[in-house]
């Protein structure tokens, strides 16, 4: 069933768990994630990232995600991930998305603040929740921005930003990065605890792939209620597809796609089990 970001995060808060949040830029990853959540009987978040527009246009994958979420046996939030344009966020809301992650981190602070407030107001009219981040999370390792190292969110700045924007969930920067890690990330989990206490909001971990089980558990204990996880799940699908191609003569793409889907489901299940403390 379709649920809003706030409803999903409330469940996470009550159960002291983190909800798994996955990018689903194709039918296979969408089915993989929803099947995993139904099998484990837990709420889940499926996301469309604006950066994936080239692979899956919002106007096409968006309605598919909403229909699939409505048909699911568990609460599902359909969220926009890293929406960098207010118009794009509005388009997602009109398609029935129940959560928006607005990312104005590349804008000057005042502009980021103004846009985030605009998105919060707009989302409220649709009954959707809003997540935002402050400061830029480092992107894929090896890229220019990762060379300067992780940026850590200042707790006081976080408090002011959350209060002035009225967001429902906050994504602090505490050492994680998007993409595949080349070395073990150094996380500042005490910072997570301080920011959770000071803002009183559910916190979101971006770049949740490749974090150690122990760090996931501590992060959840300290206030992380949503973990964005995608790269490693996707890679599991790629690996399964490659093995299939190496071992047999494949004619139909849908057979290859299904093999990847099942491998992604297995990986998503493993992640969800950790996030929900099983
Ligand atoms: Zn992210």
Please provide the DSSP assignment of 121-188 as one string: HHHHHTT-EEEEESSPPP-STTSGGGGG------HHHHHHHHHHHT-SEEE--SS--SS--SS-----
* Residue 120 within any structural domain of the chain: yes
* Residue 94 within any structural domain of the chain: yes
- Nearest-5° Cα angle at 51, 46 to 57: 70
Mean pLDDT of the chain: 93
* Residue 85 within any structural domain of the chain: yes
Give the distance (Å) from ligand 1 centre to CA of residue 103: 9
Q: What is the pLDDT of residue 264?
A: 98
With 50 as the cut, is the pLDDT of residue 143 above it? no
* Residue 60 within any structural domain of the chain: yes
> Model confidence over 105-117: pLDDT tens digits?
889 999 999 999 9
Task: Of 72, 62, 74, give the one whose Cα is nearest residue 24.
Answer: 62
pTM of structure: 0.94
Q: What is the pLDDT of residue 149?
A: 55
Give the distance (Å) from ligand 1 centre to CA of residue 92: 17
* Residue 272 within any structural domain of the chain: no
Q: Please give the average per-residue pLDDT across 145-155, as a whole number.
A: 67
* Residue 74 within any structural domain of the chain: yes
> Model confidence over 237-267: pLDDT tens digits?
999 999 999 999 999 999 999 999 999 999 9
Q: What is the pLDDT of residue 142?
A: 41
* Residue 91 within any structural domain of the chain: yes
With 80 as the cut, is the pLDDT of residue 43 above it? yes
Task: Of 214, 217, 212, give the one whose Cα is nearest residue 176.
Answer: 212
The total number of structural domains in the chain stands at 1
Distance CA 41, CA 19 (A): 12
> Model confidence over 69-103: pLDDT tens digits?
999 999 999 999 999 999 999 999 999 999 999 99
Give the catalytic positions in this structure.
81
Give the distance (Å) from ligand 1 centre to CA of residue 242: 27
- Are the C-beta atoms of 80 and 101 separated by less than 8 Å? yes
Give the distance (Å) from ligand 1 centre to CA of residue 196: 18
Q: What is the dihedral of CA 227, 4, 153, 190, to 10 degrees?
A: -50
Give the distance (Å) from ligand 1 centre to CA of residue 40: 24
Q: Which residues surround ligand 1, an ion (CB under 5 A)?
A: 206
Distance CA 174, CA 143 (A): 18
CA 25 to each of CA 139, 203, 234: distance values in angstroms, whole numbers, following the listed order: 19, 24, 10
Distance CA 237, CA 59 (A): 25
- The CATH number given to whatever domain includes residue 62 is 3.20.20.70
Domain that includes residue 175, residue range: 5-231
Give the distance (Å) from ligand 1 centre to CA of residue 101: 9
* Residue 271 within any structural domain of the chain: no
Distance CA 225, CA 11 (A): 9
Q: How many CB atoms lie under 10 A from the CB of residue 182?
A: 12
Q: What is the pLDDT of residue 115?
A: 97
Q: Please give the average per-residue pLDDT across 193-217, as a whole number.
A: 93
Q: Please give the average per-residue pLDDT across 123-151, as a whole number.
A: 70
């Amino acid at each position: 069933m379709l649920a809003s970001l706030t409803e999903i995060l409330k469940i996470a808060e009550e159960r002291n768990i983190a909800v798994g949040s996955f990018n689903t830029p194709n039918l296979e990853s969408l089915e993989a994630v929803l099947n995993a959540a139904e099998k484990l009987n837990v709420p889940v978040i499926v996301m469309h990232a604006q950066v994936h527009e080239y692979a899956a246009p919002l106007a096409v994958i968006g309605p598919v995600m909403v229909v699939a979420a409505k048909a699911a046996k568990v609460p599902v939030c359909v969220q926009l991930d890293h929406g960098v344009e207010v118009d794009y966020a509005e388009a997602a809301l009109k398609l029935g998305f129940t959560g928006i992650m607005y990312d104005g981190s590349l804008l000057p602070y005042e502009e980021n603040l103004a846009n985030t407030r605009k998105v919060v107001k707009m989302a409220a009219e649709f009954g959707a929740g809003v997540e935002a981040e402050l400061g830029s999370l480092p992107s894929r390792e090896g890229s220019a921005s990762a060379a300067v190292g992780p940026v850590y969110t200042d707790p006081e700045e976080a408090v002011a930003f959350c209060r002035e924007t009225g967001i429902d969930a906050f994504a602090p920067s505490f050492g994680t990065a998007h993409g595949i890690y080349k070395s073990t990330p150094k996380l500042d989990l005490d910072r997570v605890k301080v920011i959770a206490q000071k803002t009183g909001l559910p916190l979101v971990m971006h770049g949740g792939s490749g974090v150690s089980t122990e760090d996931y558990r501590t992060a959840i204990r300290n206030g992380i209620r949503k973990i964005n996880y995608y790269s490693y799940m996707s890679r599991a699908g790629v690996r399964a597809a490659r093995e299939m191609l190496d071992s047999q003569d494949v004619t139909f793409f849908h057979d290859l796609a299904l093999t990847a889907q099942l491998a992604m489901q297995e990986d998503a299940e493993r992640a969800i089990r950790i996030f929900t403390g099983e």
